[in-house]
Amino acid sequence: MIPASHGLLEPAEPGGKAITSADVVIVPALAVDRNGNRLGRGGGFYDRALAQVGPLIPVIALLYDDELLDTVPAGPLDRAVRMVARPNAGVTTVS
């Protein structure tokens, strides 16, 4: 890790490869469905990063309680999350 702006630390590895050695990955989301499909803002940045995360690493999306839905649109390049964290329900597993 190296110093970054605002007193934060950021990975020193170029190209965002630090995610491959993470113990847990937390991502933002607008909504997630019960199959783990994550709805973001449409840029694909998080999906490209999540493609590098190993199958045993917990990937958790942060949601408000009403943002866990039955279905959200998902395409072939979208990467699913494994869990969601909500204020009242806590951390729960999705498929």
Which domain CATH number covers 51?
A: 3.40.50.10420
- Over 70: is that where the pLDDT of 16 sits? no
Would you say residue 80 lies in a domain?
yes
Give the structural domain span for 46: 22-93
Distance, CA of 62 to CA of 68 (rounded, Å): 10
Would you say residue 71 lies in a domain?
yes
**Would you say 78 and 43 are in contact if contact means Cβ atoms under 8 Å apart?**
no
Number of domains in the chain: 1
Average pLDDT of the segment spanning 43-59: 91
Would you say residue 36 lies in a domain?
yes
Between 79 and 1, name the one with better pLDDT.
Answer: 79
User: 51 by DSSP, 3-state: which?
Assistant: coil
pLDDT of residue 43: 83
Residue 7 has φ and ψ, to the nearest 5°, of 75, 10
CA quadruple 60, 33, 48, 27: dihedral sign: negative
Q: What is the pLDDT of residues 84-93, one digit of tens each?
A: 999 999 999 9
Q: Give 64's Cβ-side CA count (13 Å radius).
A: 3
Q: What is the pLDDT of residues 38-50, one digit of tens each?
A: 999 888 888 999 9
pLDDT of residue 35: 96
Would you say residue 7 lies in a domain?
no
DSSP assignment of 18-39: GGGG-S-EEEE-SEEETT--EE
Would you say residue 14 lies in a domain?
no
Would you say residue 16 lies in a domain?
no
Would you say residue 49 lies in a domain?
yes
Global pTM value: 0.82
